[in-house]
Amino acid sequence: MGSILLCGADLLLRHEGRWSVQKRGFLGVRDQSIDYIGVDRPTATYDEEITLGGHLLMPGLYNMHTHTPMTLLRGLGSGLTLDRWLREAIFPVEDRLTPDDIRVGTELALLEMLASGVVSFNDMYYMPEITADAVLSAGMKANLNRPIVGFDKDEPYAKNQRVRESLQFFDTYHKAGNGAVLVDFAIHAEYTSFDELVKPYAADCLARGARMHIHLSETVKEHEECKIRHGTTPTRWFLDMGVLDSPVVAAHCVAVEPEDLDILQDRGVTCVHNPSSNMKLGSGFMPLATMLDRDMKVALGTDGAASNNNLNLFEEMHLAALIHKGHAGDPTIIEPGQLLDMATVRGAAAQGRTNAGELAVGQAADIVAIDLRKPHLVPNSDTLSLLVYSAQASDVAMTMVNGRVLYERGVYHTIDATRVLEEAAACALRLGLPVDGN
Residues 45-84 binding a second copy (CB under 8 A) are 71-72, 74-76, 78-82
Q: Whose Cβ is closer to a second copy: residue 1's or residue 429's?
A: 429
Chain positions 93 to 132 lying near a second copy, rule: CB under 8 A, are 108, 111-112, 115-116
Q: Whose Cβ is closer to a second copy: residue 4's or residue 13's?
A: 13
Collect all residues with Cβ–Cβ distance below 8 Å to 46 and sequence separation of at least 6: 3, 4, 5, 28, 29, 30
Q: How far is the CB of 19 from a second copy (least distance, A)?
A: 10
CB 114 within 8 A of CB 153: no
The only residue of 87, 96, 373, 413 in contact with a second copy, by rule CB under 8 A: 373
CB 384 within 8 A of CB 14: no
The only residue of 18, 23, 96, 175 in contact with a second copy, by rule CB under 8 A: 23
For the purposes of burial, counting CB atoms within 10 Å of the CB of 172, is it exposed (0-12), middle (13-18) or buried (19 or more)? Answer: exposed
276 binds a second copy per the rule CB under 8 A = yes
280 binds a second copy per the rule CB under 8 A = yes
Chain positions 392 to 421 lying near a second copy, rule: CB under 8 A, are 392-394, 417, 420-421
Q: Whose Cβ is closer to a second copy: residue 216's or residue 305's?
A: 305
The only residue of 239, 323, 405, 406 in contact with a second copy, by rule CB under 8 A: 323
User: How many Cα atoms occupy the beta-carbon half-sphere of 105 within 13 Å?
Assistant: 31
The only residue of 48, 51, 282, 361 in contact with a second copy, by rule CB under 8 A: 282
Which among 397, 338, 395, 404 has a CA at the least distance from the CA of 366?
404
- Number of amino acids touching a second copy (CB under 8 A): 81
The only residue of 1, 20, 262, 361 in contact with a second copy, by rule CB under 8 A: 20
Q: Whose Cβ is closer to a second copy: residue 231's or residue 437's?
A: 437
b/e map of 193-217 (b: 16 or more CB within 10 Å)?
bbeebbbbbbbbbeeeebbbbbbbb
CB 271 within 8 A of CB 122: no
308 binds a second copy per the rule CB under 8 A = yes
Angle ∠(210,136,178) on CA atoms, nearest 5: 55
Helix, strand, coil share (%) of the chain residues, nearest 5: 45, 25, 35
Round to whole Å and give the CA distance between 429 and 248.
38
What are the C-alpha distances in Å from 322 to residues 114, 182, 276? Answer: 25, 33, 12
Chain positions 256 to 275 lying near a second copy, rule: CB under 8 A, are 275
The only residue of 270, 383, 399, 402 in contact with a second copy, by rule CB under 8 A: 383
Q: How far is the CB of 286 from a second copy (least distance, A)?
A: 10
Which among 297, 279, 280 has a CA at the least distance from the CA of 288?
297
Q: How far is the CB of 104 from a second copy (least distance, A)?
A: 10
Q: How far is the CB of 377 from a second copy (least distance, A)?
A: 8
Which among 172, 330, 367, 350 has a CA at the least distance from the CA of 358?
367
* Torsion sign, CA atoms 41, 42, 45, 46: negative
Q: How far is the CB of 277 from a second copy (least distance, A)?
A: 9
330 binds a second copy per the rule CB under 8 A = yes
Q: How many residues does the chain have?
A: 438
Instruction: For 258-321, give the DSSP string.
Output: HHHHHHHHHTTPEEEE-HHHHHHTT-----HHHHHHTT-EEEE----GGGTSS--HHHHHHHHH
The only residue of 328, 352, 408, 414 in contact with a second copy, by rule CB under 8 A: 328
The only residue of 17, 209, 231, 329 in contact with a second copy, by rule CB under 8 A: 329
Q: Whose Cβ is closer to a second copy: residue 258's or residue 437's?
A: 437
351 binds a second copy per the rule CB under 8 A = no
322 binds a second copy per the rule CB under 8 A = yes
Q: Whose Cβ is closer to a second copy: residue 209's or residue 375's?
A: 375
310 binds a second copy per the rule CB under 8 A = yes
313 binds a second copy per the rule CB under 8 A = no
The only residue of 149, 206, 279, 360 in contact with a second copy, by rule CB under 8 A: 279
